[in-house]
Amino acid sequence: MKNRIHLYVSRKNALTWLMALCMASSAVARIALSGLKGSGDGPFVWSQIVLPITAAVLYALIALLSGEERFYKTAIPVWLMACYAGLAFSGGVSSRMMAWLFWIAVVFFACLYTDITAGHRQHAVLFLLPVLCGPLLFLMYCYRAFLLRGDLTAGGKCLPDFLMVLGMLILTFGIRVHPVDEYHPTWGDRTDGRRIRSLPPMAQVSPYIMVTRNTSTNYFSESLEISQIDRYIRRKRREGLTNFGITHVLLAAYCRGLCRYPGLNRFLAGQKVYSRGEDIQYCMTIKKEMSADSPDTVIKVHLSPRDTADDVYRKFQSAVDNVKNTPLNSSFDATAGAFTLIPGVVLKFVVWVLKTLDYFGLLPRFLLEVSPFHGSLFFTSMGSLGIQPIYHHLYDFGNLPVFGAFGMKRRAVEVQEDGTIVERKYVDVKFSLDERIVDGFYYAAFFKHYRRILAHPEILDNVPAEVLSDID
């Protein structure tokens, strides 16, 4: 994975809070001095009061709330500041050439700031100080000119701008660099995954041709001989995992397969391919009771390729017990219940808004967490219903790329090469797969590896020796 320089600021650093104080003071001073700033017409208020106040407050909030992981997003308020500075300067000079030159300067400053905070420069922190010193020296020169002339009113006009740039300069001394062997988000990433940027051209273009998930689905079926799995399940139950079953084995083997083939933990959103890294989000529909009229709910379990079978069992059972031992008031049910209160016509519009937000990666994190349509894998047991597995469709809403189902155990009589007849037990599994996240060769390699793991399930008791990372 290509190394980047990842800058961050910490809430534990006093300089971060001092910056926030400067930004808050800038906003307060701008409001207090707004009566000195002209006629008060609409465009003036929006461009010279609302815009810089928004930029200052947003800069402080981003640094305080997400500065440790997403400091690069401070480039957004910096662009707002650049627009404000350009509009303010253009309104105060009569020379069109001077206005254009100033606009070029502030746009260059904003571009350079964005490039540096995105980690594209090996010595990024060294660049920030001279970049921010330019605006600060300019404001100090203006202050000196105003004070030398004795024009305190004109000097007061610069106070909010001075505090705003001073806050940025103070924060520069609090910027640190994350270790290069860790990945941290940057532009283009989502809250639930990082963008894969080194895909072949065909893989980047195909999502624009195959737009929906269901029209991009491949289907895979396999029959698993489960003699070794049955013995393994009986042993685990004797060890105290009383509810241990084939669901846990299949799920633990899937997690172990992602150690070697991490591409299956990708998803597609907004026609771009993303990776969840080591966060395997497993979704499953369960019933509180095994009856036809018992309501359904959905659980979401966060697993890891490093999990053993015991880890998978504990995480899975904890989520199931949390639902079955309490009233039906899970986060999923509460969210779904809130949507039922919205009239149908309005609800269609709300869903469209959610789809649009999801397309651009702007869906709130709490909705991503409760949504069964966002995850790595949906696995369902048809065996518990006494039937064989089905090919379950994928969801066009959300980003779930894999849906698996397995059926009830069955017996088959087979003739061996030496002519003897044996009876074996099988479980049939079926998968619906989004072919846009990886190609067919990759899927084939994964399922061959998956079958080898299930032939020796005892390896799931040990932590994997190696976990491969997905491509950059």
Q: Spell out the domain ranges in the chain.
A: 7-177, 194-461
The pLDDT of 210-215, averaged and rounded, is 90
The predicted structure's pLDDT at residue 242: 92
pLDDT at 85 over 60: yes
Residue 291 exposed, middle or buried by CB count within 10 Å (0-12, 13-18, 19+): exposed
The answer to whether residue 40 scores a pLDDT higher than 60 is no
Higher pLDDT, 123 or 265: 265
Is pLDDT of 376 > 90?
yes
CA-to-CA distance for 124 and 6, rounded, in angstroms?
9
Q: Identify the residue with better confidence: 119 or 147.
A: 119
- Give CA separation, 330 vs 278, 279, 337, in Å: 25, 21, 10
Question: Using an 8 Å Cβ cutoff, are 277 and 182 in contact?
Answer: no
Q: What is the pLDDT of residues 421-453, one digit of tens each?
A: 888 899 999 999 999 999 999 999 999 999 999
* pLDDT on residue 150: 56
Closest C-alpha to 173, from 118, 129, 135, 114: 129
Instruction: Quote the distance between the C-alpha of residue 7 and its chain's center.
Output: 19
Q: Which residue has the higher pLDDT, 108 or 304?
A: 304
- Of 204, 185, 199, the residue nearest 361 (C-alpha): 185
Res. 138: pLDDT tops 80: no
Cα 217 from Cα 210, distance rounded (Å): 10
- Average pLDDT of span 406-410: 92
pLDDT > 90 in the chain, percent: 53
> Taking 80 as the threshold, does the pLDDT of residue 289 lie above it?
no
pLDDT at 312: 96
| Average pLDDT score over residue span 285-296 | 68
* In this structure, CATH architecture of domain 194-461: 2-Layer Sandwich (3.30)
Lowest mean pLDDT across 170-174, 248-252, 326-330, 389-393: 326-330
Which band of pLDDT confidence, cut at 50, 70 and 90, is reported for residue 61? very high
